[in-house]
Chain A
């Protein structure tokens, strides 16, 4: 096995452990939490807001390929797709498919 291969295996192992840690600790703590308790409601709020923070961070300060589309294009795509989502009576398929097509087209022109 080459050094690079063994490095990649270690990287995958470390990534998997770091990810499972958050998931399993959540299960461990949730054993003592009642679904009608205040602490449950608090974590429910934090879960929703953390997801929203993650998604908006990805759009506003993207890493990887998305960073190559400029800010204006990304914002236009998100706003148009959110508009389509509500116009289409909360159907998720139309905005999802449209987002990829719209961004691919717009980055050629803007």
Chain B
């Protein structure tokens, strides 16, 4: 079924020096506190991260819920902000493909797809034998997902002790961590161009379309970077 050795190896990868555990923990701690403040109970906060596990989407959900948005509006808002998961999945799952592995592993473990787990997998997949990459991935995903759930619960419990300044301080951890991690992954001109152009075009497109800016900026920057790569080959 699942190779426990590779699963555990993936699970333990969050203990490394460049682990996303701190950033992930801080972000979901803040989400747990936010959910309590908008009226979610303990179980609802737990299941929000358990079933969704996507920080920007959960933020959109919380904000939409606060203003009384309809379910369709929430669905579209969350889908738009989480649409990044589609290209992330396409750029990772082909690396995990193996005809001896059952499909359920791929469709179950795609729930673990998040920036943190994706960046770890993209960094480490070459060191893992092709037959067991999916098991390694399930280990990484289970670890990051567990951290997120635990932190949400912790945030819910300690929310009364978190001051406004502390909440603001926690909110910057995630973008700083992932921005540094993205800068660290710029190992060739194509990825470098993708990251630099994406960083510039995301806010630029916000001025044109706040709802679609991430998709417009990401796709435009990605296509240009791809063409730069093709031109250089």
Cβ of A4 within 8 Å of any chain B Cβ, yes or no, is: yes
A76 to B233, CA, bound (A): 38
From A43, A49, A100, contact of B169 by CB (8 A): A100
From A10, A25, A42, A92, contact of B18 by CB (8 A): A92
Residue interface bits A44-75, CB-to-B below 8 A is 1, else 0: 11111111111111111111111011000010
Return A40 CB to nearest CB of chain B, in Å.
Answer: 6
Residue interface bits B146-158, CB-to-A below 8 A is 1, else 0: 0000000000000
From B47, B168, B179, B195, contact of A78 by CB (8 A): B179
Total A-B residue pairs with C-beta atoms closer than 8 Å? Answer: 327
A103 to B163, CA, bound (A): 13
Q: How many residues of A contact B (CB 8 A)?
A: 78
Q: Can you list 9 A-B contacts (CB < 8 A)?
A: A4-B39, A20-B110, A25-B86, A35-B94, A51-B115, A57-B214, A92-B177, A99-B177, A100-B170
Chain B residues within CB distance 8 Å of chain A: 17-20, 22-23, 26, 30, 34, 39-41, 44, 47-48, 51-54, 56-59, 61-65, 71, 74-76, 78-79, 82-95, 97, 106-107, 110-111, 113, 115, 118, 164-185, 190-191, 193-203, 205-206, 210, 213-215, 217-223, 225-226, 229-230
- A sample of 17 more A-B contacts (CB under 8 A), given A42-B226, A48-B182, A77-B176, is A4-B39, A11-B61, A11-B74, A25-B89, A26-B85, A27-B107, A31-B97, A46-B194, A47-B118, A48-B222, A52-B194, A57-B213, A62-B171, A92-B23, A96-B23, A97-B22, A104-B166
